[in-house]
Structure 1
Amino acid sequence: MSVYNEEKVIEKKIKSIINSHYPAEKLSIYIGSDASSDGTNAIMRQWASQYPRFKFFEYSERRGKSSVLNDLLDEILKDYKPDPDIIYVFTDASVFLGEETIQTLIQNFNSKEIALADARIVPVSQLQGGISHSEKFYLGREADIKFMEGEIWGCMMGVFGGCFAVRSNFACKVPPQLVVDDFYITMRVLEQGGKAIYDNKAVCFEGIPDEMKEEFKRKKRISSGNFQNLLAFLHFLWSGPLSRWYCYVSHKVLRWMGPFFIIGMLASSFVLCMMGLWFFVGPLSVY
Structure 2
Amino acid sequence: MSTVAYTVFWICGLLLVHIFAGYPLWIWLQARLFPRPVRKRPITPKVTVVIAAYDSAAYIQAKLANLACLGYPREKLDIIVACDGCHDDTARLAREFGDPRVQVLEFPTRRGKAACLNNAVAQARGDVLLLTDVRQKLSPQALRDLMANLADPAVGAVGGELMLSDPDTGFAQSVDAYWRYEKLIRHAESRSGSTIGVSGALYAIRRELFEPLPEGTVLDDVLVPMRVIAAGHRVVFEPSALAWDRATQAPMEERRRKIRTLAGNCQLIQLAPWLLLPWRNPAWFRFVSHKLLRLLGPWLLLGLALTSACLASSYLLCAVTLALLALGAAMVVIGRLQPAAVRWLPLRLAMAFFYLNLFAAQAVVTFARNRGLHLW
TM-score, structure 2 as length reference: 0.65
Cα offset for 1:115?
A: 0.5
Could you tell me how far apart the structure 2 residues matched to 1:207 and 1:106 are? 26
Candidates 104, 114, 130, aligned match of 2:155? 114
Question: What is the SS of the residue equivalent to 1:61?
Answer: coil
Question: Aligned match of 1:172 in 211, 219, 230?
Answer: 211
Q: 1:66–1:237: structure 2 CA closer, same or farther, 3 Å change rule? A: closer
Cα shift readout 1:215-271 (whole Å, capped 9, x = no counterpart) = 011111112111011344443444248972332222222212223434555676688
Question: Against the structure 1 CA distance between its residues 243 and 42, is the aligned structure 2 distance closer, same or farther, given a 3 Å change threshold?
Answer: closer
Are the aligned partners of 2:230 and 2:281 in contact in 1 as well (CA < 8 Å)? no
The structure 2 residue matched to 1:141, chosen from 168, 181, 185, is: 181
Q: Are the aligned partners of 2:229 and 2:282 in contact in 1 as well (CA < 8 Å)? A: no
- Secondary structure of residue in 1 paired with 2:256: helix
Aligned equivalent of 1:129, options 169, 182, 186: 169
**Gap change, CA 1:242 and 1:163, over 3 Å in 2:** closer
Pairing 1:182-201 to 2, within 5 Å after superposition: 182-201=221-240
Contact kept, 8 Å, 2:164 with 2:244, in 1: the verdict is yes
Which amino acid counterpart does residue 269 of structure 2 have in structure 1?
L
Q: Which deviates more from structure 2 when the two are superposed, residues 31-40 or residues 105-114?
A: 31-40
Partner of 2:289: 250
C-alpha distance in structure 2 between counterparts of 1:242 and 1:223, whole Å: 20
CA distance in 2, matches of 1:10, 1:124: 20
Equivalent in 60, 84, 89 of residue 108 of structure 2? 60
Q: CA deviation at 1:28?
A: 1.1
* Aligned equivalents of 2:282, 2:230: Cα separation in 1: 13
Residue by residue over 1:199-223, the C-alpha shift from the partner in whole angstroms, topping out at 9 and shown as x without a partner, is 0011121112101101011111112
Residue 87 of structure 1 aligns with which residue?
Answer: 128
Equivalent residue of 1:28, what SS? strand
Change in CA separation of 1:247 and 1:57 when aligned onto 2, cut-off 3 Å? same
1:117 maps to amino acid:
V
Query: Contact (CA 8 Å) 1:89, 1:165: kept in 2 or not?
Result: yes
State the distance in 2 between where 1:243 and 1:57 align.
36
Residue by residue, what CA displacement relative to the aligned partner does 1:26-55 show, whole Å, maximum 9, x if unpaired?
A: 0011111111112212211112xx322211
2:55 match = 5
**One-letter amino acid matched to 2:174:** S
Report the equivalent of 1:97.
138
> Hey, what does 2:241 align to over in structure 1?
202
Structure 1 residues 20, 63: closer, same or farther in 2, change over 3 A?
Answer: same
1:20-59 to 2 correspondence within 5 Å? 20-47=70-97, 50-59=98-107
Q: In 1, Cα distance between the equivalents of 2:302 and 2:168?
A: 35
For residue 226 of structure 2, what is the amino acid of its counterpart? Answer: M
Unaligned 5+ segments in structure 2 are 1-50, 313-376
Partner amino acid for 1:105? L
Q: Aligned partners of 2:266, 2:298: CA distance in 1, in Å?
A: 13
Identity in percent: 26
Q: Is the 8 A contact 2:113 2:216 kept in 1?
A: no
Report if aligned partners of 2:230, 2:280 keep a CA contact under 8 Å in 1.
no
Q: Work out the CA distance in 1 between the residues paired with 2:281 and 2:262.
A: 25
CA contact (8 A) 2:214 2:271 kept: no
Q: Quick one: distance in 1 between partners of 2:281 and 2:238?
A: 23
- 8 A contact 2:275–2:281 mirrored in 1: no
